[in-house]
């Protein structure tokens, strides 16, 4: 645990190297095992800016700060109207005078970039429409717990090529994990994300595949899915149900993958759509370990970048 990450922003998985990702995960695992006895965030304060509602993001960051001896302040969409009541620049500059780290869960990715540009403390992307890097740290911690490694494994993501898929592709490429993304035609991840992930993967031995063919899940060590319509896409939800109908994790998909393939879902789940309830409750499923590990992975991140 010798890497110095203090003062770093975390807006994208690409802000870290593969070695740094593993460093953060190891810190999170150690905290989960030992209970954070040294209180690495003692007397530190986290400001949490929310444009989107949340269960896991808010509670995992707030509980994590408390367990590590620190304090978190929740700022709702009505408390801070980013770029409306006050400029993002001024918000970043003011918060930097009060707190030690800022986390923002927003719609547009440019908002977290703008916060980071002007803040004098580390800024964490708690979710944007482009990436969800904190989620992927939790996913990787969960895979590491169950499988004992990340490199050389194959994760198969089934569903919409959204922010989670983007961060998974970047993260997998960085740690040497093979990544297959299976989507309906026209719902693939952004082409520039695929290209960049493949470029990074070429240096680590990671294979990045994007396809519309469900049979590509054959032999996968990890099966991952997410809701078919993300927050902000509610108007498309009904139309997407028909388009995504077969792109789900169920008993049939499990027969295609490896027999002991673990199941991940970043939640909330729409049972009967992207995953069926029975499959979500099998011994293959790690979705609630994954939810718990949001806190531990983020704790590892906070301890590393705040110091």
- Please identify which of the residues 114, 226, 258, 273 carries the catalytic annotation: 226
Q: Is 277 exposed, middle or buried (0-12, 13-18, 19+ CB in 10 A)?
A: exposed
Beta strands 208-211 and 222-225: pairing type?
Answer: unpaired
CA distance 233 to 212: 21
Enter the tokens of residue 193.
């994300």
226 is catalytic: yes
For the chain, the first-to-last Cα distance in angstroms comes to 13
DSSP letter at 241 equals H
Tell me whether strands 123-127 and 101-105 are parallel, antiparallel or unpaired. Answer: parallel
| DSSP 8-class letter at 261 | -
Smallest Cα–Cα separation from 52: which of 93, 90, 82? Answer: 82
User: What is the distance between the alpha carbons of residues 300 and 110, in angstroms, rounded to a whole number?
Assistant: 25
Identify the active-site residue in 135, 221, 258, 298.
135
Contact 64, 298 (CB under 8 A): yes
b/e 27-37 (16+ beta carbons within 10 angstroms → b): bbbbbbeeebe
Query: Which among 132, 248, 265, 296 is annotated as catalytic?
Result: 132
Distance CA 93, CA 77 (A): 18
Active site residue 156: no
What is the side-by-side order of every strand in the sheet holding 71-75? 71-75, 45-50, 101-105, 123-127
Nearest-angstrom CA–CA distance, 77 and 62: 17
Selecting among 51, 56, 100, 266, the annotated active-site residue is: 266
Name the token pair of 19.
């070695």
Q: Of 27, 248, 294, 296, which is the active-site residue?
A: 294
Can 294 be counted among the known catalytic residues? Answer: yes
Catalytic annotation, pick one of 27, 58, 105, 240: 105
Residue 37 per-residue DSSP state: T
Catalytic residues, which ones?
105, 132, 135, 226, 266, 294
């Amino acid at each position: 645990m010798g890497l110095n990450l203090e003062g770093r922003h975390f807006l994208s998985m690409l802000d870290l190297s593969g070695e740094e990702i593993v460093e953060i995960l190891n810190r999170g695992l150690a905290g989960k095992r030992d209970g954070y006895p040294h209180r690495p965030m003692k007397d530190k304060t986290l400001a949490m800016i929310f444009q989107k509602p949340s269960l896991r993001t808010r509670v995992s960051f707030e509980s994590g700060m408390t367990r590590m001896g620190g304090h978190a302040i929740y700022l709702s969409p009505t408390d801070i109207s980013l770029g409306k009541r006050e400029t993002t620049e001024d918000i970043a500059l003011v918060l930097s005078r009060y707190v030690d780290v800022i986390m923002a869960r927003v719609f547009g990715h440019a908002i977290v970039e703008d916060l980071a540009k002007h803040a004098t403390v580390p800024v964490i992307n708690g979710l944007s429409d482009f990436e969800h890097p904190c989620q992927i740290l939790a996913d990787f911690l969960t895979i590491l717990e169950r499988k004992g490694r990340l490199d050389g494994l194959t994760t198969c993501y089934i569903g919409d090529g959204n922010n989670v898929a983007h961060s998974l592709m970047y993260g997998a490429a960085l740690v040497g994990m093979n990544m297959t993304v299976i989507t309906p035609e026209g719902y693939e991840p952004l082409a520039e994300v695929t290209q960049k992930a493949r470029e990074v993967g070429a240096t680590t031995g990671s294979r990045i595949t994007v396809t519309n063919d469900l049979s590509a899940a054959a032999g996968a060590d990890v099966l991952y899915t997410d809701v078919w319509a993300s927050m902000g896409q509610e108007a498309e939800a009904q139309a997407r149900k028909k388009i995504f109908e077969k792109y789900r994790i169920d008993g049939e998909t499990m027969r295609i993958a490896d027999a002991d393939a673990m199941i991940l879902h970043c939640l909330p789940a729409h049972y009967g759509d992207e995953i069926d309830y029975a499959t979500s409750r099998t011994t293959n499923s790690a979705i609630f370990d994954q939810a718990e590990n949001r806190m531990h992975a983020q704790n590892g991140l906070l301890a590393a970048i705040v110091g």
